[in-house]
């Protein structure tokens, strides 16, 4: 009976300590691979938008509206990819969530810009406008909260580091 108990205790220790540590290492390796992939993808996005810009400028001179819309679409998409790459380097979960809220805001604004303004799309435009406004207000509110928390942390005597752990990019 005691040998079974000792075996179960060792197995429990293995699964709680060693196996969990191996899973953490595997996830970190996958995160690094994804980060490298996204950096290469970001470079491809930047190369694509710059080559389109040079192509449009060489053929047209001054840009017309359709070519500017193509460049704006690509620029907003590149901005989204850049924000995702930036988020991959964030360790603090609060700032990570805030960054993805900002990414969602940019995605909604991109959709608003690209959506055709025809009467059939009025409700979609209205809903996207309300959602983007709510995201914007939420972002401003969170940034003000973070500023207030920093001021409170700085005003406390004997505090050398930020106890909230919030570091704004």
Instruction: Report the interhelical angle of 19-60 vs 65-88 (nearest 10°).
Output: 160
Distance CA 16, CA 11 (A): 9
Q: How many CB atoms lie within 10 A of CB 98?
A: 21
What is the per-residue pLDDT for 149?
A: 87
What is the per-residue pLDDT for 34?
A: 92
N-terminal to C-terminal alpha carbon distance within the chain: 56
Q: Answer for the pair 88, 34: CB distance below 8 angstroms, yes or no.
A: yes
| pLDDT digits 0-9 by tens, 9-30 | 777 777 777 888 888 899 989 9
The pLDDT confidence band at residue 128, using thresholds 50, 70 and 90, is confident
What share of the chain has pLDDT > 70, as a percent? 92
Alpha helices by DSSP H, 89-164 = 93-114, 122-155
**Average of per-residue pLDDT across 51-74:** 87
10-28 burial, b at 16+ Cβ within 10 Å, e below that, comes to: eeeeeeeeeeeeeeeeeee
pTM of the predicted protein model: 0.64
Q: How many CB atoms lie within 10 A of CB 30?
A: 10
């Amino acid at each position: 009976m005691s040998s079974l108990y000792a075996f179960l205790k060792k197995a429990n220790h293995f699964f709680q300590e060693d196996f969990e540590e191996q899973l953490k290492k595997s996830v970190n390796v996958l995160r690094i691979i994804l980060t490298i992939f996204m950096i290469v993808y970001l470079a491809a996005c930047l190369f694509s938008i710059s080559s389109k810009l040079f192509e449009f400028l060489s053929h047209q001179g001054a840009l017309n509206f359709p070519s500017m819309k193509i460049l704006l679409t690509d620029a907003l998409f590149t901005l989204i990819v850049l924000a995702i790459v930036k988020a991959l380097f964030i360790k603090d979960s609060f700032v990570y969530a805030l960054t993805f809220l900002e990414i969602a805001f940019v995605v909604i604004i991109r959709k608003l810009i690209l959506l055709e303004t025809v009467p059939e799309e009025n409700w979609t435009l209205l809903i996207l406008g309300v959602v983007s406004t709510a995201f914007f207000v939420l972002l401003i509110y969170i940034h003000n909260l973070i500023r207030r928390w920093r001021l409170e942390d700085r005003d406390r005597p004997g505090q050398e580091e930020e106890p909230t752990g919030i570091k704004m990019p």
